[in-house]
Amino acid sequence: MIFKYILSPFAELDLDTIHDWYSLHNDTVFGKFDKAFGDGLKLIASSPYQYPIIHKNIRRAVLKKFPYSIFYRITDERVIVLSVIHHKRSPRVWKKRKG
């Protein structure tokens, strides 16, 4: 079963910020990030329970080749993406986000 995913407003803001940063520094790399993020979402949607719970009911999927993680929770048949956070950011950022 493939789960539907929903990007929270926080996750959308995170992606906008990432896009802005890569647009200023290297548009080509943003395209690669976008593909890695899309591939990560596909993996999460196809098997969301494969990733570990790291805090209460929040799970974390690490992107391949990029220092970002997707933080999400599962409700019914949906995956709610809470944040897309760089590995150097404080964990307090995603812990505050309930979706």
What would the pLDDT profile of 4-32 be if each residue is shown by its tens digit?
A: 999 999 999 999 999 998 888 887 888 89
Confidence (pLDDT) at 16? 95
Smallest CA-to-CA distance from 68 within 12, 15, 31 is with 15
What would the pLDDT profile of 29-60 be if each residue is shown by its tens digit?
A: 888 999 999 999 999 999 999 999 998 899 99
Query: Where do the domains of the chain lie, and which CATH numbers do they carry?
Result: 4-95 (3.30.2310.20)
Q: What is the pTM of this model?
A: 0.89
Q: How far apart are CA 80 and CA 22, in angstroms?
A: 25
Confidence (pLDDT) at 30? 83
